[in-house]
Chains A and B, each alone.
Chain A
Amino acid sequence: MDFPRRSFLLTGLCGLTLAALTNCKKEGGGDASTIVVGEVAALTGGTATFGQSAHAGTQMAVDEINAAGGLLGKKVKLVTEDDQSKQGEAGTVAKKLISRDKIVALLGEVASGRSLEMAPIAQKEGVPMISPASTNPKVTEVGDHIFRVCFIDPFQGTVMAKFALARGWKKVAVMTDVKQDYSVGLTQYFKEYFTKNGGTIVGEQSYSTGDKDFKAQLTKLKEGNPDAILASGYYNETGLIAVQARELGITAPLLGGDGWDSPSLVDVAGKAIEGSFFSNHFSAEDKAPIIQDFITKYKAKHGNTPDAMAALGYDSMMILANAIKKAGTTEGKALRDAIAATKDHAGITGVISLDEKRNANKPAVILTIKDGKFVYVETVAP
């Protein structure tokens, strides 16, 4: 047995690997001529269209900034990590971005549950974090370094409740994804406003992300004979819920939030989702020049119409860029203060001013699904 020699070789190999790794580390950290911005996005997995869109929007903003000469005389470099739509993974890759890549700020996540995982890490390390689309109120409550560029669920839930009441729907049943902070929050705020203003909740059921069979819950909800069903989760499960509801003879429209905004919803649900409604951050049908401009540029690059996640990703990066310009530095505290001072930023998803709770107050739009397309219905101001 030549054990000693082999272990000697092994040690050597380990040493080499380590050396290689440390080398990588230096490279990843960026040199004096780049500003490294980290992004955590769900590029694969259950909510992959969110992550892919947000990333496409963010990258577009970065490219525009660099084409215009960069920030503080440096180029911006976006380092994106995929969290596979997995709870648990978002925190890990956020840590990796902060410690390995030495990012100046963190963009992401779209899903509230995963943002809630990253926020304490960013807060502790003093790295400003901007979430493009996490609407659960708890996200920015984590600390003063956490921001968002979208409206929050109390507003979104209220908007949908108001909308239901305005249509004369007094009896609504709810279907909540208990695994998602987003869905739980949205249901809660919907119910609060709806019941206070004369509506009745005629049935309440729950499920978990990844479920495929919802027939049992829907059969139960059908008993209450609801005028509409609030399905407050994300698009994957919502698509299957719509299909199975129709199979059980439920004709009531579904209601939802921005978690529906994915072409995948219509792919899975097909006709079953026609005539349902959801609240969103922007509508591609909006004629405002800033929006149409964005859509043209996005289409030229990616070949399809941007969804709200792309627009929010773009807005989050632009707000960060403006703050870096204003602060004149990428140092954590100064940058944080500059982001917090964001006022009247003309974004794609509306005029963004961050309030003292680091939330954006913006109008919501309500969309419906018609012939497989998301069609604008109305805008609701806060």
Chain B
Amino acid sequence: MEQFIQQLLNGLFLGAIYALIALGYTMVYGVLRFINFAHGDVFMLGAFAGYYLHKALMPMMSALPAPVSAVVILLLSMLICGVLGIVIELLAYRPLRSRPRLNVLITAIGVSLFLEYTAQYIFGATQRPFPELIPKKTVEGLGGLYVSNTQVIVLVATLLLLLALRFIVMKTKMGLAMRALSLNPTAATLMGVNNSVVISFTFGLGSALAGAGGIFYASLYPSIEPFMGILPGLKAFVAAVLGGIGNIPGAALGGMIIGITETLVAGYSQDIGIPSGYKDGVAFVILILILLFKPSGLLGKVEREKV
């Protein structure tokens, strides 16, 4: 029992990160109706931004307490990724906005490969250790459960980001414009919404979240390399579809489900003779099942395709 709860905790922390990445997918989809497959690579760039910022800023910030410098690095990385997201949208997706969605989708895959191999060229393919932004401590909780301070910080920070995102989408003018755009782009334009600005903002926001995800992931699993975004990116995509793509709480829920399922499969599959390597496959089995039985996702609404 104690072990099972530990597994659930393991899954929860992993799921929080998937949720954070899934939000980026879902927001872009909600507004633009297309999957930005380069999202996982922005996540990777977030981790590298954190790595280099730590290297560059630490001599200056060593006097500050660790949490403060960690927040500075986190915010700067999010900023870098946000700007990057806007630039990617501007250069790669905007020229294709009036083209069929399939064109944009294929371009997204191209952008993804471009980012991966450019990163490999610039950073090198070797894995490198990610610095501890906040010194790691493990706490033994009730009944022999183990949780590290990093995990708790990541979970709390993820929740805060989720709330901030909810606030932006539900309570601000920009959020209102985003929602209007996702309902009906033409009508939104007629009501005075500047579509280009809203789309840029959405990309920036989504990418900033991916950047934060990159930092959190690298803090939990401190080894980074240019291809680290592929698998978490794919799983977050599955999480977004699972929760109902375009739906923000759905993405969070989907992320949690994928993280916990994956952990349970890795932990218990060998009891029934399945190697734990199958944990990566499980996310995709879930995807197939959900597409078969509830294509709109758990929290998604059925939408009639307008042609």
Contacts and interface: CB of A to CB of B under 8 A. Distances in A.
B275 A212 contact: no
Interface stretch (A9-17, A199-207, A298-306): A199-207
Interface string A195-232: 00000000011111010110111011011000000000
A105 interface: no
Given A85-B125, A216-B264, A248 B228 contact: no
A121 interface: no
B213 to A, nearest CB: 13
A163 to B, nearest CB: 26
Contacts of B140: 249
Interface residues of A, number: 35
Given A84-B125, A268-B129, A220 B3 contact: yes
Given A247-B148, A248-B146, A216 B223 contact: no
A107 to B, nearest CB: 21
Given A213-B14, A216-B10, A216-B266, A48 B223 contact: no
A202 B275 CA distance: 17
A216 B276 contact: yes
A45 B221 contact: no
A268 B270 contact: no
B185 interface: no
A219 B2 CA distance: 10
B270 A267 contact: no
Nearest to A48: B126
A264 B127 contact: yes
B184 interface: no
Contact of B275 (A206, A223, A236): A206
B144 interface: yes
Interface residues of B, number: 41
B267 A216 contact: yes
Nearest to B126: A48
A236 B217 CA distance: 16
Nearest to A264: B127
Contact of B7 (A44, A85, A216): A216
A239 interface: yes
A46 interface: yes
A316 B172 CA distance: 67
Contacts of A264: 126-129
A84 B280 CA distance: 23
A252 interface: no
A236 B264 contact: no
Interface string A7-43: 0000000000000000000000000000000000000
Contacts of B266: 207, 213, 216-217
A207 B127 CA distance: 18
Nearest to B11: A216
Interface string A177-207: 0110000000000000000000000001111
Contact of A219 (B6, B126, B217): B6
B297 to A, nearest CB: 24
A222 B3 contact: yes
B118 to A, nearest CB: 14
Interface in B136-179: 136, 138, 140, 144, 146, 148
17 contacts: A45-B126, A49-B126, A205-B270, A207-B277, A208-B280, A213-B10, A216-B265, A216-B266, A216-B267, A217-B267, A220-B267, A236-B127, A246-B138, A249-B140, A264-B127, A264-B129, A268-B223
Smallest CB-CB A-B distances: 3 pairs: A44-B125, A216-B266, A216-B267
Given A213-B262, A239-B129, 7 more contacts: A85-B125, A206-B270, A213-B220, A213-B266, A215-B14, A216-B262, A268-B223
